[in-house]
Amino acid sequence: MKNILFLIAIICIAFISCDGRKSKSMALKESIEEFNQNQSDIETVIYYPKEYTEVVTDTIISDGLKIHIKNYSLKNEAVLISSPKKTLQEEATYHRVFESEIVVSTPSKIIFSGYISAAQFKEKSYDPFWNHATLQHAWVNQELSTTHHVQVDVSFINPKENSYKLFRISIGADGQEQINLIEENS
């Protein structure tokens, strides 16, 4: 009987000493999991250029033929270059979308007034280049321009694919425009 009482006493002590506490390694593992679940992703957004950009060029070609070109970035539109990776610190890079305003005038009248953007070219073409393209720059080609025809070169880039297209817009004295592809790198 003494042996049975001794055995019952040992079993009772064993049950009492098992209070359900976690080991240090289990507690640390659970704390780390809880911390990771409570952390929100940190997203860094990078824009190129960082701020609104505007470049205005006024050119005069003999006897008062004036060409006004304004290249500017849109504040609320951008092309995604690289998307974030699935980590706690995500980084997304965007290239701002640009447009250009072109006005050709004489002292007495406006011959041509228009806007140039990648969206206009995307509407007319099924080329996948235009899905992520933006205007890079528009400028007067002074070597080819005359008093009767103004030549404006316009470059578009696709920053996601590192490709470009160069167009030449010929504007006649009557305001008619003709657009030709000069060079491309896809």
Q: What percent of the chain has pLDDT over 90?
A: 40
pTM here?
0.72
Average of per-residue pLDDT across 12-30:
72
42-48 and 54-61 beta bridge pairing: unpaired
* 3-class secondary structure, 177: strand
Per-residue pLDDT, averaged over 60-77, amounts to 89
pLDDT for residue 17 is more than 80: no
pLDDT at 14: 66
Output the CA–CA distances (angstroms, integers) from residue 176 to 34, 153, 171, 179, in the order listed: 67, 16, 6, 10
For residue 4, the SS3 value is: helix
Q: How far is CA 78 from the centre of its chain?
A: 4
Six-digit token pair at 119? 């969206």
pLDDT band at 38 (very low <50, low <70, confident <90, very high): confident
* Distance (Å, whole) CA 180 – CA 152: 11
Q: Is 71 a residue whose pLDDT tops 90?
A: yes
Q: pLDDT tens digit string along 105-138? A: 988 899 999 999 998 888 888 889 999 999 999 9
- Phi, psi (deg, nearest 5) at residue 18: -90, 90
